[in-house]
Amino acid sequence: MKVANIAHGDFVTIGAYASYWLFVLSGVNPILSLLFTIPFGFALGAASYLTLVRRVVDSPELMPLFMTFGLSTLISSLLLYLYSPTQRGVPISFAPLDGLGVILPGGVAIAATYAVVAAVALRLFLQKTFLGKAIRAVMENRASATLMGINPGRVGLISFGIGISIATSVGSMIVLLQSFTPLMGGDFTLLSFVIVVLGGLGSPIGALVGGVVLGVVENIASLWLNAAVTPAIGFVVLVIVLIVRPYGLMGSK
């Protein structure tokens, strides 16, 4: 099963809107709204799997790409229709962290903590639990996994649910960092492709490391380079890493 999800970033947007409305309508703190966006994302992911993804799982790679591209357009258009292209933000701020000569905005500290917790939890889940091992088995060899008594359809549904629940919960964290529009998803999808390939496919810790590397390189480069060029830096790093370590920083051959 190899599905590259073009709509991944749009599920981040959905999470951001969910947290936004929870805040605006009932004053729920975005951190607390994780309790909603995580299960909500799982349900959305499971529903997308059952209605759409399942049909293209066994097709050539281009089919899932087209399908999720369509899903991406559907989600962003729907959000535009419902909520207009107005930029929105959650007016909430947290006390900055000050230490070691660095002042870290509170929202950034919280989001970064969540990223670490999510990556570590996902890795532990994949490495230590029976279900996690079954997911890795299906990823590596679907036919063999079936011979173990594993139902690959069920594993696909759960994997997709988990993936989307991470995306929507990240949306809850994004609102701590920036304002957003229905169209921001594409930027996240692009970034996440760079980060995941940089870190190594199939490795949550790799994704974390890839994200940090990309962020640091982009920011340092911006000291010398025109801000218009900095987004390209990520891709330069990506190309270099792929030449030196084609399986990514933390991935296995």
Partner 1 sequence: MSAPLLEVSNLQAAYGEATAIWDVSFRVDRSELVAILGANGAGKTTTLRTVQGVLPQRAGKVVFDSLDIAGLPANRVVEAGITLVPEGRGLFSRMSIEENLELGAFTKRARRNLGKNREFVFQLFPVLKERRKQKAGVLSGGEQQMLAVGRGLMSEPRLLMLDEPSLGLAPMMVVKVFQTLGELKKEGLTILLVEQNVEASLEIADRAYLLENGRTILEGTADEFRGNPTIKESYLGL
Segment lying near partner 1 (by CB under 8 A), choices 20-28, 90-98, 142-150, 179-187:
142-150
Per-residue x/- track, 234-253, partner 1 (CB under 8 A): ------------------x-
Per-residue x/- track, 145-164, partner 1 (CB under 8 A): xxxxxxxx------------
Question: 80-88 long-range contacts, Cβ below 8 Å, gap at least 24?
Answer: 80/182, 80/183, 83/17, 83/182, 85/181, 85/182, 85/183, 86/181, 87/179, 87/180, 87/181, 88/17, 88/20, 88/179, 88/180, 88/181
Per-residue x/- track, 179-208, partner 1 (CB under 8 A): ------------------------------
Is the backbone of residue 202 left (phi > 0), alpha (psi -120 to 50) or beta? left
E-strand spans in 88-210? 97-99, 102-104
Q: Of the two residues 155 and 221, which places its CB atom closer to partner 1 in the complex?
A: 155
Structure tokens given for 14: 């959905």
Q: Which residue has the tokens 């190594």?
A: 200
Q: Of the two residues 123 and 133, which places its CB atom closer to partner 1 in the complex?
A: 133
Q: Is 123 in the site for partner 1 (CB under 8 A)?
A: no
Number of residues that bind partner 1 (CB under 8 A): 18
What is the binding site for partner 1 (CB under 8 A)?
A: 130, 133-134, 136-137, 140-141, 143-152, 252
